[in-house]
Amino acid sequence: EAGVTQFPSHSVIEKGQTVTLRCDPISGHDNLYWYRRVMGKEIKFLLHFVKESKQDESGMPNNRFLAERTGGTYSTLKVQPAELEDSGVYFCASSQRGISNYGYTFGSGTRLTVV
């Protein structure tokens, strides 16, 4: 089966611009997660979708970040306007069951650089 796919793999934007990251989960996976690794630090949870509903967005840093999952398929994460501290690697993951004990399939990430 195809894995979790993320677009783009790299993005370099100027401070103040808008960037949209996309994640295509494994087909049939209702649960979708976004995580972020900033500057070589720990990978941090951003939010969790079940189908098209946000179950937990407690990790979203601020209101410049907007995640959507229309139709319960792919998801987008928009940063508007981008700030320097938003630079990092954004990972998406998906799973059939929303229980981390079973392990999730992660994408290879989008490396975002804000200059």
Partner 1 sequence: GDSVTQMEGPVTLSEEAFLTINCTYTATGYPSLFWYVQYPGEGLQLLLKATKADDKGSNKGFEATYRKETTSFHLEKGSVQVSDSAVYFCALTSTSGTYKYIFGTGTRLKVLA
Q: DSSP class of residue 41?
A: S
For partner 1, the binding residue among 43, 57, 72, 111 (CB under 8 A) is 43
Tell me the three-class secondary structure of 60-115, residue by residue.
Answer: CCCCCEEEECHHHCCEEEEECCCCHHHCEEEEEEEECCCCHHHCCEECCCEEEEEC
Contact call for residue 105 and partner 1 (CB under 8 A): yes
For partner 1, the binding residue among 31, 79, 86, 88 (CB under 8 A) is 31
Residues at the contact surface with partner 1, assessed by CB under 8 A? 3-4, 31, 33, 35, 37, 40-45, 48, 55-56, 59, 91, 93, 98-101, 103-109
